[in-house]
Amino acid sequence: MSALPQPGAQLRAMHYADLDAVMTIERAAYSFPWTRGNFVDSLASGYLAELLLHGSELLGYYVAMAGVEEMHLLNLTVAPAHQRRGHARALLEALERRCLQQGLPRLWLEVRASNERARAIYLRYGFTEVGQRRGYYPAGKGQREDAVVMSLPLREA
């Protein structure tokens, strides 16, 4: 696993006080963003949530939920102004380290079927597409979009 892509970047736990900055990025990045309540509930439930920061600037974040012998990535977002710089990979590497520290051998996620860029990042990282959830995501005007289910077996390096 490589170092962080931007010199001086660091990871730290997400806190309630970070949610204004998180919501700014979430709204900028998605047509159907998570709500503040989604983040509050995730933090209250003790889900794993980390920020990638450069100084005081928020570059991205992830939220993941541990299960029995698995971790489920719920949200991974890089600020639009900082995309295509390796930050998503850095966040995935950080999450993989956390999984291995907790003895969790598999990582799961869902991604919009139309989100080809994210799917390509996950495929390059080593995930495989293992299924589909029909109508999983809202798509506007009463429509729904399918999710692609992806999985990654984790091994100690």
Active site residue 93: no
HSE-CB of 28 using CA atoms within 13 angstroms: 16
From 110, 125, 129, 145, active-site residue: 110
From 47, 122, 129, 156, active-site residue: 122
Tens of pLDDT, residue by residue over 78-89, are 999 999 999 999
Residues in the chain: 157
Tens of pLDDT, residue by residue over 101-142, are 999 999 999 999 999 999 999 999 999 999 999 999 999 898
Q: In this structure, is residue 31 part of a structural domain?
A: yes
Q: In this structure, is residue 3 part of a structural domain?
A: no
Q: Is the pLDDT of residue 5 over 80?
A: no
SS (H, E, C) the chain: CCCCCCCCEEEEECCHHHHHHHHHHHHHHCCCCCCHHHHHHHHHCCCEEEEEEECCEEEEEEEEEEECCEEEEEEEEECHHHCCCCHHHHHHHHHHHHHHHCCCCEEEEEEECCCHHHHHHHHHHCCEEEEEEEEEEEEECCEEEEEEEEEEECCCC
Q: In this structure, is residue 4 part of a structural domain?
A: no
In DSSP terms, 133 is beta-bridged to 147
Query: Whole-model pTM above 0.75?
Result: yes
Q: In this structure, is residue 35 part of a structural domain?
A: yes
Q: How many domains does the chain have?
A: 1
Q: In this structure, is residue 97 part of a structural domain?
A: yes
Q: Is the pLDDT of residue 4 over 80?
A: no
Euclidean distance between CA atoms 50 and 113, whole angstroms: 25
Active site residue 122: yes
Question: Tokens 């506007």 belong to which residue?
Answer: 140
Q: In this structure, is residue 79 part of a structural domain?
A: yes
Q: In this structure, is residue 1 part of a structural domain?
A: no
The CATH number linked to 91 is 3.40.630.30
Euclidean distance between CA atoms 52 and 57, whole angstroms: 9
Domain span at residue 132? 9-153
